């Protein structure tokens, strides 16, 4: 089981009493959305991954989370449970199609900030004083 330590970091801990789980659940429900980028590399199925990406996009779209695809992965916006659930479903789907897969996940989870898929890009554009190529 995981819980937050005094610095707000996930730590592995002993089983948590029911009362503490209730408090943790209430705190957790108030968490803001986070951004995660993931990529899943099927091993042993040739060089092209388009078929696997398409399978994962079907799962992401069914989740109704906001997302963007890029040449190196997929970025999704949602709470931790939603995001990790989608990534897990994608990983399991790819594993149905190939004997081995490597899944990489990068998470941007910032307390007290409203995040969007464009917020980081907007910040860089503001500093540069111009729009970036997209």
117 and 66 in one domain?
Answer: yes
Q: What is the pTM assigned to this prediction?
A: 0.73
The set of residues, in sequence order, having a beta carbon less than 8 Å from that of 112 and lying 6+ positions away, is 32
Examine residue 134 and state whether it is found in any structural domain, yes or no.
Answer: no
Contact between 69 and 57 (Cβ < 8 Å): yes
- Report which of residues 80 and 10 the model is more confident about: 80
Examine residue 133 and state whether it is found in any structural domain, yes or no.
Answer: no
Structural domain boundaries, residue 94? 33-128
- The CATH number of residue 103's host domain is 3.30.70.930
Assigned token pair, 44:
């042993």
pLDDT band at 119 (very low <50, low <70, confident <90, very high): confident
- Residue 28: pLDDT above 80? no
118 and 53 in one domain?
Answer: yes
Assigned token pair, 12:
């592995």
Element housing 83 (H / E):
helix 80-97
């Amino acid at each position: 089981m995981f819980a937050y330590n005094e610095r707000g970091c996930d730590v592995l801990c002993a089983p948590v009493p029911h009362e503490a789980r209730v408090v943790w659940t209430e705190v957790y429900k108030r968490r803001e959305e986070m951004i995660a980028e993931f990529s899943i590399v099927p091993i042993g199925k040739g060089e092209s991954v388009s078929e696997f990406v398409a399978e994962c996009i079907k799962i992401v779209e069914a989740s109704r989370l906001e997302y963007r695809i890029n040449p190196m992965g997929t970025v999704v916006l949602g709470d931790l449970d939603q995001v990790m659930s989608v990534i897990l479903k994608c990983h399991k789907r790819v594993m149905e199609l190939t004997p081995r897969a490597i899944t990489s996940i990068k998470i941007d989870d910032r307390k007290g900030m409203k995040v969007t898929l464009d917020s980081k890009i907007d910040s860089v554009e503001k500093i540069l004083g111009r729009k970036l190529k997209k």
